Amino acid sequence: MISVQEATTIIQNHLGNFETETIPLSECVGRVLREDILADMPFPSFDRVMMDGIAINSEGWNSGVRTFPIQEMQPAGVPKVSLNNKHHCIEVMTGAVLPDHTDVVIPYEEIDIKNHEATISLASVTAWKNIHRTSSDRQMSDLLLSQNIMISPAEIATLAAVGKSEVIVLKQPKVAVISTGDELVEVNETPASHQIRKSNSYALKASLEEMKISASLIHLPDERQEVIDQLSTLTAKYDVIILSGGVSKGKKDHIPEALEMVGVEKHFHRVKQRPGKPFWFGTKGNTTIFALPGNPVATFLCFYRYVKPWLMASMKVNNTANQPMALLTADYEFTAPLTYFLQVNTSHKDGMLLATPIAGKGSGDFTNLNQADGFLELPESQSKFKAGEIYQYISFR
């Protein structure tokens, strides 16, 4: 058995390599950018009026003029007009291009308009005031977005502004989520007294969906040859295979043997952790296989602790925040020489993330997860964990 840290290192040493594709801007949020985005024009692209009011030439002001006849109006979205007389002004609207021969905008709050003349009530006027100068934010060809970032709404604004109606992004990996276990029936079936409904694979599919990855759901029966035949096909077809169940020591736990028989190289089996000890990990060519224990909480933990970080690293996402830590709010004891993943719910207080243990009824009770927000990672080197201590936190909400 290896440690949690060893398992993490091995997994991170076997990253996937996914392709790119071009998709419409409207589908980009939550996807990973795979091209550098440059400014296709300066930002702003013109001297932009920032206040509603009048534009004057500061030389006119400096010559002593305080009342400026209004020559015309320069609304936003209208080609640039030109001030013909430095003792006159042009009424301007926010977002408009600054008229030629003007260099300062005086907002309506500071002027009084009567008979088509604007009288300025200010004591002094500074050139270029209330004007967003062209190129002041970004120069033409400046790098606005580097590739390998997760696209959020803020990036959508930038992509739209530079005219990227289509964007090169990471092609999402093809993922199969495979349930195993003859005791499982479909959600819409009524289980017999020795059966239960599938739930792990639906949770995994939903977790992947939150990463914009659409997974195929597949079920394997507890029949050795059938498992081998199907895994042979599936490992050739998918980039990532996430199995749930069938990795313990039972007579029907065919998964590890079957994976090796179809040519998957095992990198580890069994990790010093609870839940999730029987976790198995391997690769075959470009296909990565996570065979997670069938205990629902173990499946869930292993996804968020190992699979999701592997996906993020394989997708080369580099603009996510670092891993948070959280402060344990109550003493906890766990004596087995294993890393324990404690179900906690969290709250924020004065900038701190607080983690409060859930009163659980055993690691298999997945309904506890509904009260929890994540797991606190309690290291195997300790058995007593005191309120006020700080540990790594893995969020699943």
Q: Based on the shown chain and the rule CB under 8 A, indicate whether residue 119 belongs to the binding site for a second copy.
A: no
- Part in contact with a second copy (CB under 8 A); list of ranges 105-113, 114-122, 233-241, 330-338: 105-113
Closer to a second copy by CB, 115 or 165: give it. 165
- Three-state DSSP at 121 gives coil
Complete DSSP assignment for 8-45: HHHHHTS-----EEEEEGGG-TTSBB-S-EE-SS-BSS
Residue burial 32-63, b: 16+ Cβ < 10 Å; e: rest:
bbbeebebebbbbeebbbbbbbbbbbbebbee
Q: Which of 18, 43, 280, 375 binds a second copy (CB under 8 A)?
A: 43
Q: Which of 35, 52, 117, 229 binds a second copy (CB under 8 A)?
A: 52
Q: Based on the shown chain and the rule CB under 8 A, indicate whether residue 123 belongs to the binding site for a second copy.
A: no
Structure tokens at 241: 């295979």
The rounded distance, in Å, linking the Cα atoms of 231 and 77 is 61
Q: Which of 365, 379, 382, 383 binds a second copy (CB under 8 A)?
A: 365
The rounded distance, in Å, linking the Cα atoms of 166 and 189 is 43
Closer to a second copy by CB, 22 or 323: give it. 323
Closer to a second copy by CB, 8 or 232: give it. 8
Q: Based on the shown chain and the rule CB under 8 A, indicate whether residue 390 belongs to the binding site for a second copy.
A: yes
- Part in contact with a second copy (CB under 8 A); list of ranges 2-10, 57-65, 230-238, 325-333: 325-333
- The terminus-to-terminus CA distance of the chain in angstroms comes to 30
Complete DSSP assignment for 130-181: TEE-TTSSB-TT-EEE-SS-B--HHHHHHHHHTT-SEEEEEPPPPEEEEEE-
Complete DSSP assignment for 243-306: EES--SSSTT--HHHHHHHTTPEEEEE-BSEES-TT-EEEEETTEEEEEE-SSHHHHHHHIIII
Closer to a second copy by CB, 105 or 284: give it. 105
Which residues 199-218 are close enough to bind a second copy by CB under 8 A? 199-200, 202-207, 209-210
Q: Which of 322, 335, 359, 381 binds a second copy (CB under 8 A)?
A: 322
Closer to a second copy by CB, 111 or 241: give it. 111
Which residues 139-158 are close enough to bind a second copy by CB under 8 A? 144-145, 150, 152-158
Tell me how many residues contact a second copy (CB under 8 A): 115
Report in angstroms how near the CB of residue 379 gets to a second copy at its nearest.
16
What is the SS3 string spanning 193-237?
Answer: CCCEECCHHHHHHHHHHCCCCCCEEEEECCCHHHHHHHHHHHHHH
Q: Based on the shown chain and the rule CB under 8 A, indicate whether residue 58 belongs to the binding site for a second copy.
A: no
Q: Based on the shown chain and the rule CB under 8 A, indicate whether residue 249 belongs to the binding site for a second copy.
A: yes
Residue closest to 242 by CA, chosen among 210, 271, 213, 275: 213
**What's the distance, CA 54 to chain centroid?**
44
Which residues 263-292 are close enough to bind a second copy by CB under 8 A? none
The rounded distance, in Å, linking the Cα atoms of 354 and 369 is 17
Q: Which of 17, 225, 359, 361 binds a second copy (CB under 8 A)?
A: 361
Which residues 226-245 are close enough to bind a second copy by CB under 8 A? 245
Structure tokens at 60: 């006119």
Q: Based on the shown chain and the rule CB under 8 A, indicate whether residue 173 belongs to the binding site for a second copy.
A: no
Closer to a second copy by CB, 265 or 331: give it. 331
Residue pair 63/183 in contact by the 8 Å Cβ criterion: no
Report in angstroms how near the CB of residue 297 gets to a second copy at its nearest.
9
Q: Based on the shown chain and the rule CB under 8 A, indicate whether residue 346 belongs to the binding site for a second copy.
A: yes
Report in angstroms how near the CB of residue 61 gets to a second copy at its nearest.
22
What are residue 168's DSSP bridge partners?
A: 22
| Residue position matching structure tokens 């080609």 | 79
Report in angstroms how near the CB of residue 111 gets to a second copy at its nearest.
11
Structure tokens at 171: 């092609």
- Part in contact with a second copy (CB under 8 A); list of ranges 93-101, 266-274, 284-292, 379-387: 93-101
Report in angstroms how near the CB of residue 63 gets to a second copy at its nearest.
28
Q: Based on the shown chain and the rule CB under 8 A, indicate whether residue 170 belongs to the binding site for a second copy.
A: no
Q: Which of 64, 123, 192, 335 binds a second copy (CB under 8 A)?
A: 192
- Part in contact with a second copy (CB under 8 A); list of ranges 8-16, 196-204, 264-272, 284-292: 196-204
